[in-house]
Amino acid sequence: MKKEIGRKQKNAVVIGANGNLGKVLCKLLKENGYRVDPIWLKDDHPDASKAASYKNLPETIDLAVYLPGLNAIRNTEELNEKDWDAVFNVNLKGAFLFAKAAFSAMKKNGGATFVAISSIMVTHPYSHTLAYTASKAGLEGLTRELAVEWGQYGISANCIRLGHLTDPMRTTPRNDHLLTAVRVKTPSHRLIQHTDVASYILWLAEGGSKAISGSIIDFDPAYTINRWPL
């Protein structure tokens, strides 16, 4: 879609922009007239878990998206503090630091949207994902609190509880046997496409979030609720 004549230039900041989902989202945003902060598009982007990485955000932000996710697949008894801290730093601390730094720029336009990515692991956890599951649960709480605190400024905050994508995140080894089993249990026998998620985030940014701030959106084609035994 080409930028509409006379439409105000909108700014988006996508943390995790160079990941599989991030690339698809940024492409869609640009096609719809958004300027995407180029700093996070680079392969040598700043460390999302460091406060100093957010010192040069745009003066106004219409859409702020936090995508990073780190997993540490370990038995709980083998999960050490270093692994735990690394996962929480990326999945939760980084989101806090980004939200804190972006607030003033989001407040300026009086209608900004904040989006974070959670996981179905919060409500339907798999074994050996303790740090990931706990950190994403914390991220959902963070998002809901921001919706309450920031609503007075016209800022919405929503969290997408994401199901299985066609391609897993980089820190989770691809398991085709698992993905096949997920397809079988999913009523539509379809995994989630990156374009599905990107289009939904765009819809939120273009006004959809005005009515649903504070929501934890189950972005999952009924895989987690399918209890049909046959």
Q: For tokens 């959106």, name the residue.
A: 217
Q: Which residues have CB under 8 Å from 93's CB, separation 6+?
A: 49
Q: Residues of the chain whose pLDDT is less than 50? A: 1-3
Partners of 116 in beta bridges = 66, 159
For 228, the token pair is 């049909």
Question: For residue 151, what is the DSSP state?
Answer: G
Judge: domain 10-218, CATH 3.40.50.720: yes
User: What pLDDT does residue 169 have?
Assistant: 67
User: What pLDDT does residue 171 have?
Assistant: 61
Q: For tokens 């900041």, name the residue.
A: 13
User: What pLDDT does residue 136 have?
Assistant: 98
Q: Which residues have CB under 8 Å from 31's CB, separation 6+?
A: 1
User: What pLDDT does residue 8 have?
Assistant: 78
Query: What separation in angstroms does the CA of 54 have from each of 8, 45, 97, 108, 160?
Result: 24, 11, 8, 17, 23
Distance (Å, rounded) from C-alpha 202 to C-alpha 31?
11
User: What pLDDT does residue 156 have?
Assistant: 98
Going from N- to C-terminal start, the domains of the chain cover 10-218
How buried is 125 (Cβ within 10 angstroms: 0-12 exposed, 13-18 middle, 19+ buried)?
A: middle
